[in-house]
Amino acid sequence: MDTARILLLDAAPGELMARELDRLLGHGLEVTLNLRRVADHAGARDAWGDRVEFTDFDAFDESALTAATVHGAQGYDALKSRAGVPLRAGFLAAATDPALVRPLRVIGRAGAGTDHVDLPAAARHGVTVTHTPGSNAGAVAEFALAQLLALTRDLPAHNATAHRGVWRAPAAPAAQLSELTLGIVGLGRTGSALAGRAAALGMDVQGLSRQHRAREPARPVRSLTALLTTSDVVSLHLPLTAATRGMIGRAELALMRPGSILLNTARGGIVDEQALADALRDPGHPLAAAAVDTFAHEHAAFESALAGLPNALLTPHVAGMTRSAMSTAALHCADHIAALLGDRPDGIPVVSA
């Protein structure tokens, strides 16, 4: 077969797109770029029109995604996703139809999470799923630390009142970080990166891992209950799986210390958003505030029971969006896809069902 073809559902943003396209083309791949999330369509066409093909569709619309991928019975050997476009069973069946000239063989995610892919369906249809674990660990850890600092010092409220021309002194002095215990749920690359940064600022850090052992500087905690009842700030750093979906619900929130804070930069489905919203509305609840960067429904489908709550700091899934993290993810993802298409799987991170 001639040169493998790849469809970029969403290229790296800004100037990073050029580096990503150069890397893919350098691997000898034929590239089709979806312009829907590209800021400068005309500039992209002028710069790359003689080297790549273009399309323009909403990848979050499954019918549009399927039509673009099937592409008149031509198909693509690989897809690359950055923003977590849902790739479900129906789409995977259509994209791997043997009648296509190029049935889909590889899905690449420029990021760590792959919960947007129906992994059992991908396995059934012979599609290999690769990702870039750890590429944004430092970025997400920094963001969680920023959330922590913003809420422990009540920065959103002070900012809002100052903009209204009101001089608002705190009712009581805030605690310094060295007075607080941080509980980290999930001590993989990101959780461990946060532990190191928080400990350097003087926090007492404890953690819960799936193997029930912690890495320095986090002290090990044997259960989620033990962590929730002994932490002033709880930060989540877990993948979304059947085991972690709904892990933090009403019962778990009720266990938290009075005046505590919850941080979620992991996945929205880990936390019951309605239960969290109800807790934040209740002045008698031990939970004082929460910072949430990931939601059960995102992008055009975004909605949350947390919207409008003054003690909920909400951001649109941007924790990992730094230049360094996104460049690493995009380039590593390009390398992984090329290696898998070239039947060179050794050392390439692959996600199984």
Annotate 191-256 with three-state secondary structure.
HHHHHHHHHHCCCEEEEECCCCCCCCCCEECCCHHHHHHHCCEEEECCCCCCCCCCCECHHHHHCC
Cβ atoms 93, 346 nearer than 8 A: no
Report whether pLDDT(310) > 90: yes
Q: How confident is the model at residue 214 (pLDDT cuts 50, 70, 90)?
A: low
Active site residue 163: no
Q: What is the pLDDT of residues 73-130, one digit of tens each?
A: 999 999 999 988 999 999 999 999 999 999 999 999 999 999 999 999 999 999 999 9
Active site residue 317: yes
Which bin fits 111, alpha (ψ -120 to 50), beta or left (φ > 0)? left
Compute the distance between CA of residue 255 and CA of residue 286 in angstroms, rounded to an integer.
8
Q: How confident is the model at residue 216 (pLDDT cuts 50, 70, 90)?
A: confident
Question: Which backbone phi and psi does 228 adopt, to 5 degrees?
Answer: -65, -35
Mean pLDDT, all residues of the chain = 96
Positive or negative: CA dihedral 237, 242, 248, 251 = negative
Strand order in the sheet with 233-236: 219-220, 204-208, 181-185, 233-236, 260-264, 287-292, 312-314
Helices 323-341 and 16-26 cross at an angle (nearest 10°) of 20
Q: How confident is the model at residue 193 (pLDDT cuts 50, 70, 90)?
A: very high
Report whether pLDDT(337) > 90: yes
Q: How confident is the model at residue 42 (pLDDT cuts 50, 70, 90)?
A: very high
**Percent of the chain residues past pLDDT 90, beyond the cut:** 94
Active-site residue identified among 102, 105, 267, 336: 267
The reported pLDDT for the residue numbered 210 is 81
Active site residue 216: no
| Helix then strand then coil, % of the chain, to nearest 5 | 35, 15, 45
Compute the distance between CA of residue 161 and CA of residue 167 in angstroms, rounded to an integer.
7
Q: What is the pLDDT of residues 144-190, one digit of tens each?
A: 999 999 999 999 999 999 999 999 989 899 999 999 999 999 999 99
Active-site residue identified among 23, 27, 116, 317: 317
Report whether pLDDT(307) > 70: yes
Residue 327: count other Cβ atoms within 10 Å of its Cβ. Answer: 17
The reported pLDDT for the residue numbered 2 is 78
pTM of the model: 0.93
The reported pLDDT for the residue numbered 213 is 65
**Four-point Cα dihedral 200, 205, 210, 213, nearest 10:** 90
CA dist 66 → 9, 97, 123, 343 (Å): 12, 11, 18, 26
The reported pLDDT for the residue numbered 25 is 98
For 330, the token pair is 């995009």
**Mean pLDDT across the stretch 293-304?**
93
**Percent of the chain residues past pLDDT 70, beyond the cut:** 99
Report whether pLDDT(23) > 90: yes
